Amino acid sequence: MSDVPIVYTLTVCPACDGLREAWTRDGVQYEERRVDQSQDTLDEALNYADTVPIIVFPDGRVEVGFDGRTG
């Protein structure tokens, strides 16, 4: 498992844009995986949910969606 959250996103997605902007502004490190750029990445994401953003935290906790809060 990664030391930073893994975030599954789409290139064009308002919630994903909000997450990227907020976490970049707040200095949150994360690994972004864009589901529209790789079938393998899409398949990984579908193991968690069928919508993005999907946040997989290092402790295994999964959150779907983004409401503007960090972590």
Question: For residue 53, is the peptide bond before it cis, meaning its omega torsion is within 30 degrees of 0?
Answer: yes
Distance CA 53, CA 13 (A): 8
**Residue 70 falls inside a structural domain:** no
**Global confidence as pTM:** 0.92
* Tally of domains within the chain: 1
Which residue shows structure tokens 């990445």? 41
**Residue 33 falls inside a structural domain:** yes
Q: In the beta sheet, which residues pair with residue 34?
A: 9
**Domain range for 21:** 6-51
pLDDT tens digits, 37-52: 999 999 999 999 999 9
pLDDT tens digits, 9-62: 999 999 999 999 999 999 999 999 999 999 999 999 999 999 999 999 999 999
